[in-house]
Structure 1
Amino acid sequence: MKKNLFELTFCQLFLLLIPITINIYLLRTISLDIYGKLIFFQAIFNFLSVLINSGLSNDSLRDLSKHIKNSNFSIKLNEYINAKLFYMILSLIICIFIGFFAKFNETLFYVSFLYLLYFFFDFTIFYQVINRLKLNLLILIFSYLSTVICLFSFVKEDTDILIVPLISTLPYIILNLVVLIYIFKKRSLYFKLDFLLLIFKLKSNMKYMISNLISSIVTKGIYIFIGIFLDMKSVAIYSVLDQIVRAPLIFINRISSLFTPKLVNVYNKYGLNQMQLLFIKYFMYVFFLSLFIILILSLLESLLLPFLLKENYQENIKHLYFSILIIIPLISLSSLCALQYFVNLHKESILFKFSIYFLLVGFPFIVLNMYVYELKGLVFSYIFVEVLAFIYYLKKLDFNLLKVLYENKFR
């Protein structure tokens, strides 16, 4: 566990370093409007990444971990890859259709299609299950260095924005392709197109996928609505605020994925009560980690915002920054309950029900406030919805978290 935690921590640092380095350099090199347009286009691909990658990851990690030592492992792996391939093709069709709209009919958008392949070749959970995270880390290091070198060498002005998707994705895609072919050959693993496995995976994953897609409307799709209702500069400013908190959120969630094999194993061996005790331990770990990150980001505010936004930094943005930090523990703990407890117990319906509530009530509430009060309305309505989400997931736990925590602390 500790070895995996160490390796996965460094993997996630490099996964975060690539977009952070690129975005910081672009913010210092190109105009805010052009940067906002890049983020606006990328919002489509980041949203579709839920289909291709993250929407399949947690239940696949659970299934692959469960069958790692038996013959069903190849079947579960093929379910996972077949689904990734299907969703990538579906995403490509969606993007081609979107390209007919004038706002997206630009060369930069079409070049960004490479992000679909980038997300397809993210096989972090596979490396994690076969205990080869170190190899994944090497891929990330080499692709990161290649991207940074090309970025500093070739991107100097607004017109160079067209090559950013190329240098951001190709090193990672090529390295992963080579390594995966090598591992599959060495371990006598195989991939075959299997319609029946695909249908089974799509059916079993449907509620979880829908839940992920709906929750991603805010985290990934909101940039599209900002670009439509406000302007590209607002897209860029919100992107800076969002990325500052999104980086630690991704980091915490990826670290939390390490808990899956342990929770599944404890549940299978010792039952629900022992799993609940272990879950509480992880809950407190994520809670204090979130508070620590908020403290660090609060102390760095006077350095981060003026550096990233330059002459566009204003006092009102400072208030938005401190407000949006609140979502770090809210989302981290909600995600922990959803992905490491409900999904592991095959209770995806709880996630699905919340997603429906969010789609019908929460999202319209956020968009309406954004339209009326602009970025201020967006941030504060977003926080309000995340508070409700956190309360919802706590209430759905089949045990009293505080009571169990108290009883075991003084036992």
Structure 2
Amino acid sequence: MMFLREKLGRNKTVLANVSYLSILQIFTILFPLLTYPYLLRVIGLDLYGVIVFAQTIITYVSLVINFGFNMSGAKNVAICKEDKELLSRIVSSTYLCKLILWSICVVVYFSIISIVPFFKEHYWVYSLSFLLTFNELLLPIWFFQGIENMKYITIVNMLARLLFVIAIFLFIHEREDYLLVPLLNGLGAVVAGILSLYIVLGRERVRLSVIPIRELRSAYKESFPLFVSTLSTQIYVNVNKLVIGSFLGMSEVSIYDLGEKVLNLMKLPISMVSQAVFPKISREKNIHFVNKIMFLLAGAVFIGYMFVFIASRQIVYLFTGAYVNDAIVVIRILGVSAIIISFNCFLGGNRLVPFGFSSMYMKIMICNCLFFLLILLILLLANMINVYTVSLMVVIVEVFCFIVLLIKNRYIGLI
């Protein structure tokens, strides 16, 4: 008992952050699942697919705004959190860098959706969906992760998302109300961002200041490998819905999106634990600790997958009101990738980056992305694009990533 109390005492901050991240991640995933069946019945598979398609595009816009600052910012804040003056400069630099990128994205994004004919039919869906970028611009999860205090960001996020869910049921009653979905979703992101910024400036007493161009250039340079790594990862994670929407249809996007929502639920322990322990790994650089967390998570995710596999028919019926065979198969295939991701997360971003191998991590993710694009090209040339092959492609790419990460970590002695 003494040993257990001592272990808990040493990891008290990590456990607290895991708890808050658990709450945040659970509600982040559960709230969309609450509205999914309702929206599917009210606005239909096709319009819901358009909204998901637009949100997927915004995911890539948000990646540009992020530019790797969510990882580099968290790392720098974790290292310098005791120095208030330096901390303020880090926060100011990160926000200013993101604001510059956001301004560029505004011009480019609205130019594209105004010119390209593909976007004109649902122009306002794509326009209103851009409000979601305020989530990336204003919401400083990286700051609270770095100071290892996720309490406030969890409360703010939960309130904003809860208001969005309530608003969906209050204001959306027929198919013609579909534009309210991206509008309400975007307003939730704006409110959460503003409240979070108020906490950073007010309660945490961080002072924003003008940062010289030289420091901004240095910040971009530091985050660039992380940006390329994240972009490479997100290309093969999120581009699938764009491919399905372009080649199959928006109804198929909705079916695949359900599979992804269940996958995200299975990945929940991975994301919340990896974020919570990242500052500790960055400071202590303890390989034994990283390995222990990795295997514990992999075991938990495997148990979760077995449950999902057995209950997949009931899960699909719960959300769609029918036994949609395509959705059942997609859930079972995508679920396998969650087990592999639990290893990849702690062989990649939560090992190579805090140990000073960001450049190597970037090259591995680029290699992974190129492998994905090769498989996608083969499927396109062979005319084999369907929800099954796209789902299987996700698993194959994660296996490839696992093998490359394992080889590289053994080579540099981080296993």
Scaled by the length of structure 1, what TM-score is found? 0.89
Comparing 295-304 with 157-166, greater Cα deviation is found at: 295-304
Match of 2:64 among 42, 51, 58: 51
Match of 1:284 among 295, 300, 323: 295
Structure 1 residues 363 and 12 mapped into 2: Cα distance closer, same or farther (>3 Å)?
Answer: same
Q: Structure 2 counterpart of 1:301, which letter?
A: S
Correspondence for 1:309: 320
Structure 1 residues 206 and 179 mapped into 2: Cα distance closer, same or farther (>3 Å)?
Answer: closer
Unpaired runs of at least 5, structure 1? 268-274, 405-411
Correspondence for 1:376: 388
Structure 1 residues 214 and 39 mapped into 2: Cα distance closer, same or farther (>3 Å)?
Answer: same
Whether 1:196 and 2:214 are equivalent positions in the alignment is yes
| Structure 1 residue 127, shift from structure 2 partner | 2.2
1:393-408 correspondence runs (5 A): 393-398=405-410
Structure 1 residues 67 and 147 mapped into 2: Cα distance closer, same or farther (>3 Å)?
Answer: same
Structure 1 residues 314 and 132 mapped into 2: Cα distance closer, same or farther (>3 Å)?
Answer: closer
Correspondence for 1:154: 171
Match of 2:375 among 358, 365, 368: 365
8 A Cα contact 1:280 1:401, kept in partner: no
Q: Structure 2 counterpart of 1:335, which letter?
A: C
Structure 1 residues 176 and 377 mapped into 2: Cα distance closer, same or farther (>3 Å)?
Answer: closer
- Distance of 2:43 and 2:313 partners within structure 1: 22
Match of 1:90 among 92, 97, 104: 104
Correspondence for 1:297: 308
| Structure 1 residue 50, shift from structure 2 partner | 2.1
Q: Structure 2 counterpart of 1:127, which letter?
A: F
Q: Structure 1 counterpart of 2:282, which letter?
A: V
Comparing 21-30 with 104-113, greater Cα deviation is found at: 21-30
Q: Structure 2 counterpart of 1:266, which letter?
A: E
Whether 1:318 and 2:332 are equivalent positions in the alignment is no
| Structure 1 residue 216, shift from structure 2 partner | 0.7
- Distance of 1:49 and 1:251 partners within structure 2: 23
Correspondence for 1:330: 340
Correspondence for 2:38: 25
**Structure 1, residues 162-209: CA drift from partner, whole Å, max 9, x if none?**
011222232342243134224413444222343333211111111210
Q: Structure 1 counterpart of 2:132, which letter?
A: Y
**Structure 1, residues 131-178: CA drift from partner, whole Å, max 9, x if none?**
442222221232122112110011122211101122223234224313
Comparing 372-381 with 357-366, greater Cα deviation is found at: 357-366
8 A Cα contact 1:53 1:84, kept in partner: yes
Structure 1 residues 303 and 33 mapped into 2: Cα distance closer, same or farther (>3 Å)?
Answer: same
- Distance of 1:41 and 1:145 partners within structure 2: 22
Correspondence for 2:117: 102
- Distance of 2:367 and 2:296 partners within structure 1: 29
Q: Structure 2 counterpart of 1:134, which letter?
A: K
Correspondence for 2:53: 40
Correspondence for 1:224: 242
Unpaired runs of at least 5, structure 2? 1-13
Correspondence for 1:409: none
Whether 1:254 and 2:268 are equivalent positions in the alignment is no
Match of 1:166 among 183, 187, 191: 183
8 A Cα contact 2:58 2:133, kept in partner: yes
Q: Secondary structure at the match of 1:220?
A: helix
| Structure 1 residue 260, shift from structure 2 partner | 1.5
- Distance of 1:119 and 1:27 partners within structure 2: 27
Alignment RMSD (CA, Å): 2.3
Scaled by the length of structure 2, what TM-score is found? 0.88
Correspondence for 1:234: 252
Structure 1 residues 247 and 121 mapped into 2: Cα distance closer, same or farther (>3 Å)?
Answer: farther
Correspondence for 2:152: 135
Structure 1 residues 254 and 79 mapped into 2: Cα distance closer, same or farther (>3 Å)?
Answer: farther
8 A Cα contact 2:148 2:276, kept in partner: no
- Distance of 1:385 and 1:171 partners within structure 2: 34
- Distance of 1:179 and 1:207 partners within structure 2: 27
Q: Structure 1 counterpart of 2:347, which letter?
A: C
| Structure 1 residue 299, shift from structure 2 partner | 3.3
Correspondence for 1:81: 95
Q: Structure 2 counterpart of 1:307, which letter?
A: L
- Distance of 2:92 and 2:268 partners within structure 1: 26
Structure 1 residues 372 and 181 mapped into 2: Cα distance closer, same or farther (>3 Å)?
Answer: same
8 A Cα contact 2:18 2:273, kept in partner: yes
- Distance of 1:401 and 1:23 partners within structure 2: 45
- Distance of 1:197 and 1:310 partners within structure 2: 55
Q: Structure 2 counterpart of 1:390, which letter?
A: F
Q: Secondary structure at the match of 1:342?
A: coil
